[in-house]
Structure 1
Amino acid sequence: MNTIAVAHRAGNSLAGLHLANLLGADVIECDVHHHRGRLEVRHLKTAGPLPFLWDRWELVPASTPRLGLQELLEADAHGSTFMLDLKGPGSRTGVAVARLLHDLGLRRRLLVCGRQWSAVEAVADLDYVNPVLSARTSRELAALWPRLSRRSFHGVSVHRSLLDLDVVSRLRSSVEVVMTWPINDVQSLEQMVDLGVNAIISDNPEVLMQVVSRR
């Protein structure tokens, strides 16, 4: 199969969605939070009672408009394949996503990923959803192997620092798609492709265009 180009965080804004479609990305990733009964797509995190959203390099007022998952899905005019990265503890976000998809009557291919595997599994029984388990740490990777032996998953998304030839080969024997991130330069792209990774998650338009151009 061709290497899959995944536009990291592109679905967190309508402008990012538009750019990813122009680049020809195969999959558009967005971060899904369940906040006060609403599913929002954003990378910024809430700060409890404090009136702002934050990330390591960014601080914005809590009143900043937030894109909803339903709004994102309904705004898509290109039949994009989204990957919903489920955020928050436990299975709550996954349960809410499954409910929203059912209520919308949406039956289009989606990927659902996350480090909270119970949340991914809450959506995995929908027959149009491809579940992907994420691992950021060596402890999460160690826990991944028994999980993959107990249930079938479409793919895994593993941080690049955890991958070598043996790990990728073992993962490829268990799942269809092995994704990795962050791949934001061509040298890293070449290294991961050489290891056998077949889905590249990138913030860099040039890297995404490189992946697309190799077909």
Structure 2
Amino acid sequence: MRGMTDRPLLTVAHRAGNTLTGLRVALQAGVDLVETDVHLLRDALEVRHTKALARHLLRERWNSQRRHNPARPRLAEVLAAADGDPRLMLDLKGPSLSVATRVAALLRQEAPELPVTVCTKQWRMLDAFDGLPHVRRVLSVNNPVHLGRLRARLRRRPVFGVSIRRQLLTPAIVAELRESATVVMVWPVDTEAALEHARRLGVTSVISKNLPLLRGLLADRPTDAGPDPAPVAGRALPATP
């Protein structure tokens, strides 16, 4: 059962891009997008999921700014490791809009023509990527209030993509979103039960930390059909509205 579409689901490896090893493993697995969480800490674009560093790690960073924890790579290192692969999805974190400005500047300098997907719950951050036509923008939602705002916004202007907590959605809401969004992603989808729920909803994409589950989706994908739509290496990218 594939819900509202017979096309394969787009596969997104949740947090896999937060380490260089995880990035390489996910890319080698063939997933369609690899999520990387980006924070701005003391003028450095750091990749990690944790919202706040533990106290002892924070003290260590302040005491020795020259030392660098390889488990928390900088965004420039992630871009270098991706080596031109267009399957990065940068999830911009934190309260300050400066992270988006810094990421946009880095992309202009290091990868001006690289197709990259950028996702954030702070939608104003996406304005920083004006003038970068290769950046695909995704509006993220994690609570009912923001979902209501998103639905109202999409009635006025279409977007490339949305990323929404799965439990907030119904098939009717997904159908409405797909009228104005090229990609409808849901998370978390880490179990077979969650995957079946996502299919019943009719979404186009699942975000999962369960790489074997994503590998299963890829293995079941017909050889003559890509995901719908498909921001995939080697395929034409859908236009950003």
Q: Report the TM-score when normalising by structure 1.
A: 0.89
Whole-angstrom CA distance in 2 between matches of 1:14 and 1:75: 7
SS at match of 1:52: helix
Whole-angstrom CA distance in 1 between matches of 2:136 and 2:174: 19
Whole-angstrom CA distance in 2 between matches of 1:90 and 1:152: 25
SS at match of 1:179: strand
Q: Which residue in the other structure is 2:213 paired with?
A: 207
Whole-angstrom CA distance in 2 between matches of 1:150 and 1:94: 24
For 1:12, which of 7, 10, 18 is the aligned residue?
18
Q: Which runs of 5+ in 1 are unaligned?
A: 54-59
Cα distance change, pair 147–202 in 1 and its aligned pair in 2 (3 A): same
Shift of 1:186: 1.2
For 2:116, which of 110, 117, 120 is the aligned residue?
110
How many residues align? The count is: 208
Report if aligned partners of 1:177, 1:199 keep a CA contact under 8 Å in 2: yes
Q: Which has the higher contact order (CA 8 A, sep 6+)?
A: 2
Whole-angstrom CA distance in 1 between matches of 2:106 and 2:204: 30
SS at match of 1:84: strand
For 2:56, which of 51, 55, 59 is the aligned residue?
51
SS at match of 1:21: helix
Shift of 1:22: 2.4
Whole-angstrom CA distance in 2 between matches of 1:43 and 1:34: 12
Q: Highest CA radius of gyration, 1 or 2?
A: 2
For 1:137, which of 136, 143, 153 is the aligned residue?
143
Report if aligned partners of 2:84, 2:114 keep a CA contact under 8 Å in 1: no
Shift of 1:149: 3.1
Q: Which residue in the other structure is 1:56 paired with?
A: none
Q: Report the TM-score when normalising by structure 2.
A: 0.80
Report if aligned partners of 1:113, 1:131 keep a CA contact under 8 Å in 2: yes
Report if aligned partners of 1:32, 1:85 keep a CA contact under 8 Å in 2: yes
Whole-angstrom CA distance in 2 between matches of 1:148 and 1:30: 25
For 1:29, which of 14, 35, 45 is the aligned residue?
35
For 1:85, which of 91, 94, 105 is the aligned residue?
91
CA deviation vs aligned residue, 1:183-213 (integer Å, no higher than 9, x gap): 0011211111121111110000121112212
Report if aligned partners of 2:45, 2:74 keep a CA contact under 8 Å in 1: yes
Matched, 1:123 2:129: yes
SS at match of 1:147: helix
For 1:69, which of 70, 75, 81 is the aligned residue?
75
Whole-angstrom CA distance in 2 between matches of 1:51 and 1:150: 47
CA deviation vs aligned residue, 1:116-140 (integer Å, no higher than 9, x gap): 1111232254100110000000011
Report if aligned partners of 1:112, 1:123 keep a CA contact under 8 Å in 2: no
Q: Which residue in the other structure is 2:190 paired with?
A: 184
Matched, 1:158 2:164: yes
2:57 partner letter: F
Whole-angstrom CA distance in 2 between matches of 1:124 and 1:196: 30
SS at match of 2:214: helix
Question: Which structure has the highest strand share of the two?
Answer: 1
Cα distance change, pair 141–69 in 1 and its aligned pair in 2 (3 A): same
Shift of 1:155: 0.5
Whole-angstrom CA distance in 1 between matches of 2:135 and 2:84: 18
